[in-house]
Amino acid sequence: MTSAGPPLSPGTRVSERRFVFVVNPRSAAGATLRRFEGVREQFRARLASVGATLDVKLTMEPRHATQLAREAVAAGAAAVVAVGGDGTNNEVVNGFFDGDGARIPSDTAFGVVTSGTGGDFRRTFGWTAEPLDDLERLVRFQRRRIDVGRLRCVDQQGHDVQRFFVNISSCGLSGVVVDVVNKSSKRLGAKLSFLVGSAKTMATYQPQRVRLSLDDGPAIEEDLTLMAAANGQYFGGSMWVAPDAVIDDGRFDVVIVRGGGLGFWMQHGLKLYTGAHRSLPAVKIARCAKVSASPATPGDKVFIDLDGEQPGVLPATWEVVPGALDLLA
């Protein structure tokens, strides 16, 4: 006898019990796909045991995950599950919104099977990196309404960009580092790749003068090394940059690191992995629902990081979209 299906939350309206798994075959140099294929039959059988079906979609190019997720959300799938790293999560989350940035009317939930080179999003929840643990979380179908961040900026050609994120977006040093890391092989692993990329960047990076405004308040100028608008707690391959961030409180934890040349990072850089950086005089943390930033020097390019990708440069605005997504948690 087939089970009645996943315990859908009260008020949930989905047209089918289809779980769409969006798999990035290039994630972690192909290891993500190999790992998923190794457990695919177990996923199919476990989903079938609760009356659900497994539908696997492989991405073919950048932003394809967004298109695949958007189609599944519009069709009323029970859940769209990102299989890859934090970049894949980001692309899938953007598929819950249409091309104009409006939330697609649907009760489709968002799920995660962690792989890739980072896995920072899962760390906020204390999830393991074991796919079968992810599977049990998915079939429980327990929803948690979470916030989403909205980034508006310009790309390097000056075109307007609007992107959503569930974890962290930042600017300054991190935006340059992510470009260096993404151009590397990542065969050293997420943490070591980020450390190597950081070391290369810090050898030449100089703080940039930036104007910041929190919740439309008065603008302040900072010699900025890093600003992170944190919905989640971790970035950069396990850096615990925002230990007090709460993913459903309607606010970012905004972490600002001022000044800080190579000597500063050599002395204090590892504190970002333990949360001990919060006590440093060069670090300021605030909570707000909106952050605006622009270069104080005309023509200065201040690069942005968005869940491990580089979407553009300042000027930019980060805003919280409260309760925009149901996460299977």
pLDDT (tens, 9 = 90+) of the chain, 329 residues, equals 333 334 444 334 445 689 999 999 887 778 888 999 999 999 999 999 999 999 999 999 999 999 999 999 999 999 999 999 898 999 999 999 999 999 999 999 999 998 766 689 999 999 988 999 999 999 999 999 999 999 999 998 899 999 999 999 999 998 988 777 777 766 666 557 667 777 778 778 889 999 999 999 999 999 999 999 999 999 988 899 999 999 999 999 999 999 877 788 889 989 999 999 999 999 999 999 999 999 999 889 999 999 878 999 999 999 999 999 999 99
Cα Rg of the chain (Å, integer): 20
Whether residue 163 contacts residue 209, with contact meaning beta carbons closer than 8 Å, is answered with no
Instruction: Indicate if 149-323 has the same CATH topology as 18-141.
Output: no
The CATH number of 149-323 is which of 1.10.260.40, 3.40.190.10, 3.30.70.20, 2.60.200.40?
Answer: 2.60.200.40
Q: Where are the domains of the chain?
A: 18-141, 149-323
Q: Which CATH class is domain 18-141?
A: alpha beta
- For the full predicted model, state whether its pTM sits above 0.95: no
CA 129 to chain centre: 16
Q: Which amino acid is at 253?
A: D
Measuring CA to CA, which residue among 293, 295, 324 is closest to residue 216? 293
